[in-house]
Amino acid sequence: QKEVEQDPGPLSVPEGAIVSLNCTYSNSAFQYFMWYRQYSRKGPELLMYTYSSGNKEDGRFTAQVDKSSKYISLFIRDSQPSDSATYLCAMGPSDMRFGAGTRLTVKP
Amino acid sequence: DVKVTQSSRYLVKRTGEKVFLECVQDMDHENMFWYRQDPGLGLRLIYFSYDVKMKEKGDIPEGYSVSREKKERFSLILESASTNQTSMYLCASSLIPFTDTQYFGPGTRLTVL
């Protein structure tokens, strides 16, 4: 079993939809949870950073962490074509573990 | 604006060749990382360095070595390239290892024939 599981998709939604991206993990030592966005032919860039459990909101993006279920989510409201990218979850400390990435396409 | 640059975007090499991938960061970060990214497997850590001349093995160091002679530069070396090393290679740097934002370069797509 992988330490971090993420559905690779692809996921295709119409513009304006609410998108839910998820990861599950097995290591209860993870305390830091991140979401990176990777556009085609680019390196990943940090989108959201959460420490421990709870929610964090930044504009149209909301990150949720449920440590009891070992489950993290990224919600995108009012999705735009510019949100089309691969989204990777990542978690630490001591080792950084990345999910495989979910490829999202938002269609106009 | 923070920047991590990688020497090549695309590289084609032959089996058995020695390959050098260079990474430079301008953020004065102590920590630098090399990952490979493969479909369905995500990013896997090859090596990281937390200081000049210091290195630590990641999850998949076999067939690779690294060099960090200067703080801003971290090189990945494939001593004898093999076809299973065809991949996207990503370099990253951070202020604090594993709990801090990692800043990634654009990646090098390496093909070994």
Cβ-Cβ contacts under 8 Å, A32 against chain B: 98-99
B45-67 pLDDT, tens digit each = 999 999 998 999 998 999 999 99
Ramachandran category for residue B50: left, alpha or beta (phi over 0 → left; psi -120 to 50 → alpha): alpha
Write out residues in chain B with pLDDT < 70, as ranges: 1-2, 99
Nearest CA distance, B4 vs chain A (angstrom)? 10
Nearest by CB to B106, which of A36, A43, A100?
Answer: A43
What are the per-10-residue average pLDDT scores of chain A (108 residues)?
86 97 93 93 91 90 94 97 96 83 96
Cβ-Cβ contacts under 8 Å, B104 against chain A: 36, 43-45
Nearest CA distance, A50 vs chain B (angstrom)? 10
**Token pair of B109, please?**
């797509």
**Token pair of B68, please?**
């960090």
Chain A, residues 43-102, CB within 8 A of chain B, namely 43-46, 49, 88, 90, 92-96, 98-101
Nearest CA distance, B19 vs chain A (angstrom)? 21
* B23/B71 Cα distance (integer angstroms): 11
- Quick one: pLDDT at residue A1? 67
